[in-house]
Chains A and B, each alone.
Chain A
Amino acid sequence: MRPLTLGRLLFRCGILAVILFVVVVIALKMGAVQVSLYGLGRDLIRVLLGQSSAISTDYGMIVRDIRLPRILLGIVVGASLSVAGASFQALLRNPLADPYVLGVSSGAAVGAIAALIIESHLALSPELAGLITPLGAFIGAGLTIAAVYFLGRRDGQIDSSTLLLGGIITASFLSAIIMFLMNTLSGSNLRGTVFWLMGDLSTPQPRSLLFLLSFGFLAAAGAIYTTASDLNLLLAGEKEAMHLGVDVPRVRIVVYLAASILTGLAVSVGGTIGYVGLLVPHVMRLIFGADHRMLLPAAALGGAIAIVIADTLARTVVAPSELPVGAMTAMAGAPLFIYLLRRRIT
């Protein structure tokens, strides 16, 4: 295999970026209300020229205020999940690891439900009230990450298999708590939570949150990227990596924290969207190889592409109703996973 050079890396990322762009344009075009490519282009030019007021209501409200924010949210969520998945797979050296394997999504769900309960007792302005669920979810995810981290430590160091088992047990414990809360509480707010548990991007998020998510993603993904070549060596084994001069405990903590933050960000707005974090890294590894310097950006772009496609389908297949995007990713993801699995065996 030819060595990875900067040119090859940029070229491959460029191809993926072009695919993402095309997918986004198609996603912008598709939906309950038909818009034309010409109209999209015309309005993009108007926006760039600063003539936003000339845009018709259909395009203005539907494309700009509803469709575009949702697609951008999908991009950030997909990229976060996929990078987190690739990181956890490398860190735990387990091909089955995905962003939710350490119980983060269950923790986020408990946090979101708690936030909804607290919210109903507070008189908050709509602006703040819209932020409280993601915030609660993020705090829940953070607390779970911390708890699993302490469960997964052995002799002051993270032990991969202990961490994995600790995460699985924590997840099942928290799921039980969710079941308990869902069956004892009633109220219209909890109905949203169910949707959220299935993975859903249909709720428009405040604009400020999208900025926050984007910068959180850049920071956390950037932190993981600094360890990319260490992760490559880690694939050979922890002892081997250590002999080759990798500061294994440091890499583990950086990747663990950053990947958990990515998961927390994604789950706080999108709920549990399965298979993206598990599958996209595998597919990218098949196409581009296991070099994490290539794999991480490829996974980010691939995850974004996957979610935008899945969410566009979720929006359109049963229009005017919508499916949760988590249902779409699972429907497409599970068969694909089985295919990849069988291919590897034979």
Chain B
Amino acid sequence: MHRIISSFVSRPAALVHVFLFVAAIGVFAQADSPRPSSQTGARELVDEMGRSVRVPVSPTRIISLAPSITETIYALGLQDHLVGDTDFCDYPAAAQRKPKVGGIINPNLEEIAALRPDLVLVTKNINRLDTVRALDTLGIPTYSSSAPHTVSEIISSTQKLADVLGAPEAGKSLGQEMEGQLAALQTKLADVPPRRVLFIVWTEPLMSAGKNTFIADALRKAGGVSIVEASQDWPKMSLEEVVHLQPDYLVFAASHSESATRDFEALATRPGWRLLDAVRNRHFAVISDAVNRPGPRIVSAIEELARQLHPEVFQDSPSPERVSPPANAASFVSPHAAFSSLSPSYCSGSVESSCVH
């Protein structure tokens, strides 16, 4: 009985399947049409990922997919051309009010397309390659900045970005300003021996910045030297190793100094951590989380750290007004974003309490 039914049942049923899919695919395939090429005044250039892209000479509808790029755009005075940014673009405060296109790792393509950008800016270090490819497929010009390894690469990358955005003069003066500030700092720190520091990216598990990151370079510029020699970007550290290396200072980056202080107190009560001289002597420095972003504010974050590591050098000069932290404390900044996406379990509920911003 089964056999008899199945012999006539199976073929038409398969046909139903075929019909449904062919119908769906048919509509889909027909929908293919030439895209309007409305780009007048565009130029061909190679971005920092080595892709050749066509971008407008002076783009007026820019979407930034990285907090550091958003900050750079504001620093260049081009904020009026910024039509969208990510949920994590929290500085300056005005950037929070721009239309949001979602996260860094998973921006909403529909939202991006709806804003009709003439240029989307991404960075190689935090955005996904898939995002760039998807935008390419949609015919939306995308310029990618590189992953900087040093502070000077951040400056040169900023200037390149300014060129792409059609504001080379603004880029030049911003770059000179950053370089000048750094040079003045270097002169001040020329005669002091560097402090050995542990930069804490995350406390649970303990993570620091590797030697090839711009953060390690920023520490050097601030008169410090990271005790971490790892070539990985965000190496997990064992407490044993830290105790063995005995850093002079622990460095926290936070949007609120109180939260970093809480983190320090929490660390100090943990078994083993009291073996650290830095913990016993309460040698810890808290700097703005701007240090985590390869953007223009990194220079002031470096100076902030230098003041805490070498207070004796700065005794005669008053501290400049501290860059006020953004109101939104739940900021995911670049290394954190990189890390949290690699191990999603760690950033579930503990971001606020136990993780450094």
A48 touching B30, Cβ below 8 Å = yes
Could you tell me if A62 and B113 are in contact, using CB atoms closer than 8 angstroms?
yes
CA distance A286 to B341 in the complex (A): 39
Shortest Cβ distance from A217 into B: residue = B21
Task: Supply 19 A–B pairs (Cβ within 8 Å), ascending by A.
Answer: A6-B8, A10-B12, A32-B114, A33-B114, A58-B114, A66-B109, A130-B130, A184-B232, A186-B338, A188-B125, A188-B126, A188-B147, A191-B128, A194-B342, A221-B17, A225-B13, A315-B108, A319-B111, A320-B107
- Measured between beta carbons, the chain B residues less than 8 angstroms from A221 are 17
- Count of chain A residues with a beta carbon within 8 Å of a chain B beta carbon: 76
Number of residues on chain B facing chain A (CB within 8 A): 64
Task: Tell me the complex Cα distance, A186–B126, Å.
Answer: 11
Q: Considering the complex, which residues of chain A in the window 96-130 have a beta carbon less than 8 Å from any beta carbon of chain B?
A: 126, 129-130
Beta-carbon contact of B102 and A320 below 8 Å:
yes
**Which residues from A are CB-within-8-Å of B16?**
10, 13-14, 17, 297
The 4 A-B pairs of least Cβ separation, nearest first, read A52-B33, A229-B6, A32-B111, A32-B110
Q: Which residues of A contact B126 (CB under 8 A)?
A: 188, 191
> A134: shortest Cβ distance to chain B, in Å?
11
B2 at the interface (CB under 8 A from A): yes
Q: A44 — which chain B residues lie within 8 A by C-beta?
A: 27
In chain A between 234 and 260, which residues have their CB closer than 8 angstroms to a CB of chain B? none
Q: Cβ of A322 and Cβ of B13 under 8 Å apart?
A: no
Q: How far is the CB of B3 from chain A (nearest CB, A)?
A: 6
Closest-by-CB residue of A relative to B16 is A13
A191 and B342 contacting across the interface, CB-CB below 8 Å: yes
- Nearest CB in chain A to that of B140: its residue: A61
Q: Is the CB–CB distance between A320 and B5 below 8 Å?
A: no
Is the C-beta of A172 less than 8 angstroms from some C-beta in chain B? no
A328 at the interface (CB under 8 A from B): no
A228: min CB distance to chain B, Å: 6
Task: Identify 11 new A-B residue pairs, CB closer than 8 A, beyond the known A3-B1, A4-B9, A202-B106.
Answer: A5-B9, A20-B20, A33-B111, A48-B27, A66-B113, A66-B138, A69-B28, A188-B126, A204-B134, A214-B21, A222-B14
A183 to B16, CA, bound (A): 47
Report the bound CA distance from A126 to B137 in whole Å.
9
Q: Is A160's CB within 8 Å of the partner chain B?
A: no
Complex Cα distance, B130 from A192, in Å, reads 7
Shortest Cβ distance from A194 into B: residue:
B341
* Known contacts A64-B31, A182-B343, A194-B342; A75 and B24 CB within 8 A of each other: yes
Decide yes or no whether B271 CB sits under 8 A from chain A.
no
The secondary-structure label for the interface of chain A is helix
Q: Does B92 contact A (CB under 8 A)?
A: no
Question: Whole-angstrom distance between the alpha carbons of A117 and B106 in the complex?
Answer: 21
A321 within 8 A of B: yes
Complex alpha-carbon distance, A52 and B111, angstroms: 22
Q: Which residue of B lies closest to A21 (CB)?
A: B20
* CB pair B133 A126 closer than 8 Å: yes
Q: Chain A residues with Cβ under 8 A from B30's Cβ?
A: 47-48, 50, 52
Is the CB–CB distance between A211 and B25 below 8 Å? yes
B129 in contact (CB, < 8 A): yes
B28→A210 contact, CB < 8 A: yes
Closest to A222 in B: B14
A293 x B128 contact (CB < 8 A):
no
In the assembled complex, the CB of B9 is this many whole angstroms from the nearest CB of chain A, namely 5
Evaluate whether A322 and B31 lie within 8 angstroms (CB atoms) in the complex, with A186-B233, A226-B10 already known. no
In the complex, chain A residues whose CB is within 8 Å of the CB of B81: none
- The verdict on A143 contacting chain B, using a C-beta distance below 8 Å, is no
Contact call B109/A204, Cβ cutoff below 8 A:
yes
**Inter-chain contact A61/B138, CB cutoff 8 Å:** yes
For window 98-130 of B, CB contacts with A under 8 Å fall at 100-103, 105-111, 113-114, 116, 124-130
Once the chains bind, are B27 and A47 in contact (CB under 8 Å)? yes
Q: How far is the CA of A6 from the CA of B5 in the complex (A)?
A: 8
A333 sits at the interface (CB 8 A): no
B117 to chain A: closest CB distance in Å? 11
> Of the candidates A6, A31, A76, A206, which one forms a contact with B12 in the assembled complex, judged by CB atoms under 8 Å apart?
A6
User: Which B residues are in CB contact (< 8 Å) with A297?
Assistant: 13, 16-17
